[in-house]
Structure 1
Amino acid sequence: MQGSGATLTWYHDFISPFAYLHWPKVRALMQTHAVEVVPILFAAVLEANGHKGPAEIPAKRTFTYRHVLWQARRRGTPLRFPPAHPFNPLAALRLAVAAGNTPEATTAIYDWIWAQGRDAGSVEALAPLLRELGVAADALGSDEGKSTLRANTEAAIAAGVFGVPTLAVGSDLFWGDDAHAFAVSVLEEPSLLAEAEMQRVASLPVGVRRA
């Protein structure tokens, strides 16, 4: 557990509308703290943890889509789903890497997908955005870009990341847009996770396991 001197890392995938909602908070945090922004492939994280994504469970898919729309409307944040979801996010992730993983590029890609509701499932669909960001289409297929994304994802899995978006404060993981205030509290008050009950629940015995 670490406080104001902790390393901050934000793991995200453009496939997540909750990451889109979380990104402005992370960008605001970057005004006062150094935050490493790490694009990762959410599908590989799900595979590593033996999980289904929320969009892979029909009833959860409907609830999730409606819930995120409701949250966006409450905040006054424009949100329009792309033509299909889930979509293949590899082109968007590789575009972020090719564009230098800058905050400006990250914002542009999120806005393309989630504010404008545009298709991001292929290099061809992203062509206008590539031109806007000054990235050549062949850069998205480069070995360097692919290896960077693979390394990012492997590092996230090694760190224990199980979902996106995740903000890591040191080695402590805070999953989801709704956990942002919790993460900031820990950042400002390093002793919070050292409290007795916080420590007890972290090592609570498992009472029963599914067969």
Structure 2
Amino acid sequence: MTLSLDFVYDFGSPNAFLAHKVLPDLSRRQSVGIRNVPVLLSVIFKATNNQSPFQAFAENRKKSAYLTHDLHRFARRRGLNFHMSPHFPLNTKFAMRGALFAMGKQWEKEYIDAVFDAVWVHGQKIDDLNVLTDVVHERGLPVRKIREAVASPDTKQRLKDQSKEAVRRGVFGVPSVFVGSEMFFGKNSLGNVELELSRQA
């Protein structure tokens, strides 16, 4: 049996950014592929009556401070470049439609890397379509085709449908990783993802 994992993500999540950065090493160690599954957190939160931890604990200063500290600690210990976005929270609908369009294409990883880095390394406001266009242009990606896809009602609907399908699988937030039918939520569960991959190997 060939093992693989599904990585369910939204560019607006700092935890998804950090998970995205460490998953390639995990996949190499375990000799598994990664299927990136873009979703809209806004659709998932509405369907599951959920919200981001930064919103949920906005009035709890100690919890909010810990959440931020944990992000930076995770990045620091793994040598990752990470900065909390000055525009957080962002509306990622344009970027996520582009990610849906990128699925299965040779430049999919380049697009994902470019947008994640734009948000969580360079602090760019990717909910501005012109900024997003500049980001993909700088990476030499097919700007015109991406812009057309972002504006397409079909892409918009397929992203909503994919988000709802993630909810049906049990997703309530991101990052979520699936090994078969087993779901693991959050960057701090990646150790358990690796244990599950070893178990199923």
- Specify whether residues 34 and 74 from structure 1 end up closer, same or farther in structure 2 by C-alpha distance, changes over 3 A only: closer
Question: Within 5 A, what are the aligned runs for 1:9-88?
Answer: 9-31=6-28, 32-56=31-55, 57-58=57-58, 59=60, 60-88=63-91
User: Contact between 2:87 and 2:123, CA under 8 Å: does it hold in 1?
Assistant: no
Q: CA RMSD in A?
A: 2.0
Aligned residues: 188
Query: Is residue 2:152 matched to residue 1:142?
Result: yes
Q: Distance in 1 between matches of 2:38 and 2:118?
A: 16
Aligned 8 A contact 2:174 2:185 in 1? yes
Instruction: Tell me the amino acid that sits aligned with residue 48 of structure 1.
Output: A
The letter of the residue matching 2:122 is Q
| Identity over aligned pairs, percent | 27
Question: Structure 1: how far apart are the matches of 2:2 and 2:197?
Answer: 8
Distance (Å, rounded) in 2 between the aligned partners of 1:26 and 1:95: 21
Q: Of 97, 101, 114, which aligns to 2:100?
A: 97
- Structure with the bigger percentage of helix: 2
Q: TM-score, length-normalised on structure 1?
A: 0.80
Q: Which amino acid aligns with 2:191?
A: A
Does the alignment pair 1:127 with 2:133?
yes
Q: Return the alpha-carbon distance in structure 2 between the equivalents of residues 25 and 84 of structure 1.
A: 24
Structure 2, unaligned runs of 5 or more: none
Give the partner amino acid of 1:121: D
Partner Cα distance (1:76, 1:8) in 2: 24
Bigger radius of gyration among the two: 1
Is contact 2:3-2:32 (8 Å) kept? no
**Per-residue deviation, residues 3-30 of structure 1 (Å, max 9, x unmatched):** x645521101111111111112322344
Q: Tell me if the contact between 2:179 and 2:193 (Cα under 8 Å) persists in the aligned partners.
A: yes
The yes-or-no answer on 1:161 pairing with 2:171 is yes
Seen in structure 2, the aligned counterparts of structure 1 residues 135 and 99 have a Cα distance that, compared at 3 Å, is: farther
Contact persistence 2:98–2:150 (CA under 8 A): yes
Partner of 1:109: 115
- TM-score where L is the length of structure 2: 0.84
